Amino acid sequence: MAVTQEQVLAFAIYEIRLLLAHHLGSGESQDPATQAAAHLAYALHNQAATVLQGGQFNPEQATLALGALDQMLATSFQPRLFQAVRDDV
């Protein structure tokens, strides 16, 4: 069975979400980086599942999810994604 690079990365996101599921929430005693990682993986796990099943997702909706996460956790995932994509061109 041939596996695509997208599926490998989607699998990693999905598994990270499972591993960090108990770090979701607003507990202030948690490590902020671990909490952010848990929420980042959770924000994109549906897209990861879609890719694993051979489908496609709307990237604009995914970037909106990152923006919502940025507002919730005071992170900067959305602008950093845009910068990473811009730098790659």
Q: What is the pLDDT of residue 25?
A: 79
What is the per-residue pLDDT for 87?
Answer: 74
State in Å, rounded, how far the first CA of the chain is from the last one: 32
What is the band of 13 on the pLDDT scale with cuts at 50, 70, 90? very high
Q: Burial-class residue 74 by CB neighbours within 10 Å (0-12, 13-18, 19+).
A: exposed
pLDDT score recorded for residue 7: 94
CA-based R_g, the chain, Å: 14
Give pLDDT tens digits for 17-75.
999 999 887 666 678 899 999 999 999 999 999 999 999 999 999 999 999 999 999 99
